[in-house]
Amino acid sequence: MINFQYLRTTSAKSALALLQKDKNSKFIAGGTNLIDLMKRGVTAPEKLIDINHVPLKQIELIGTKIHIGALATNSAVADHALIKEKLPLLSWALQAGASAQLRNVATVGGNMMQRTRCGYFYDTEMPCNKREAGSGCGALEGFNRMHAIFGTSDKCIAVHPSDMCVALVALDAEVVLLGPKGERKILFKDFHRLAGDTPQLDNNLKPDEMIVRVEIPLNNLAKHSYYLKVRDRASYAFALVSVAAGLELEDNKILSAHLAMGGVAHKPWRLTKAEEFLKGKEATEENFAQAAKLSMENAKGFGENNFKLKLAPNTIIEALNLAKRKA
């Protein structure tokens, strides 16, 4: 680990000013991923700007949207009465992530910015295009059991590790970013990127911007939603496959379906075709199976992760069944 300068700030404006002053600086809040990356030599910022005292911890209903500050901890969001009542899908997804100790310090913004857990990315002796552009991808023909089956490129097949982000995509969230020219808002589904030819870029945050909050519109999914995470052990494990499912039901008719997957792509993977197929249909096992089949178009395994080609559709069907029964 290299020496670095530690700075502390109490406002978003001063945090941005410090960031813009030195391109090789990074924000730190919970630090649950960043410190690992620094210890392993994957990243080496010269300055760490501690933003824990910037007032961005709000969780509140404003009009028809729930606003969650970037520095609200994962535990605070998961346990908040408003989130449990209105957005239980988000609460369950957060509870499925990491351990209680980590959730107590990890923040919403940090969760969004966490990096892949691909083993080659963390091993600086190994080739990895994400860590060092042009060095190759060790996982393509190597250990790739945890890796992507959708939206892959010949440069990188890593997955985004977050559970929270999968739920936020399914819930039509937006992200508010603050930069030198003020705030801009983007859809959560457009925040993270596919690897393409630039696997070093995980998301569309500009170098001189910071995440300030997430906004989630109220919906009618609370009665019929479920976050199903399939993993190697019951806690503190990343998803092999996860599904965030929300159904708006009238009798047994689906008025709208909200579906996203985790553990399968470089970004949370929205199942748009399945959502369109299910809209207006009966909530039956047959329709759920057809939705799962549609979701698997263009899926591709890389050897060790071929099992996901079966696990993923089965998880979609099960998540939809559990969401239907939830009420």
Binding interface with ligand SF4 (CB under 6 A): 116, 118, 120-121, 128-130, 137-139, 156-158, 199
Q: What is the DSSP letter of 115?
A: P
b/e per residue 134-149 (b: at least 16 CB within 10 A) = eeebbbbebebebbbb
Q: From residue 73, how far is each of 100, 109, 121, 282 by CA, in Å? A: 11, 9, 26, 38
> 203: Cβ–Cβ under 8 A, 6 or more apart, which residues?
112, 113, 191, 192, 193
Q: How far is the CB of 261 from ligand SF4 (least distance, A)?
A: 18
Q: What is the dihedral of CA 271, 196, 267, 193, to 10 degrees?
A: -110
d(CA 219, CA 238): 28
> Residue 66 or 157: which CB sits closer to ligand SF4?
157
Q: What is the dihedral of CA 155, 161, 167, 173, to 10 degrees?
A: -60
| Among 37, 74, 261, 291, residue whose Cα is nearest residue 167 | 261
Instruction: For residue 171, give both structure tokens.
Output: 């819930």
Instruction: For residue 232, give both structure tokens.
Output: 């190697």
> Residue 159 or 212: which CB sits closer to ligand SF4?
159
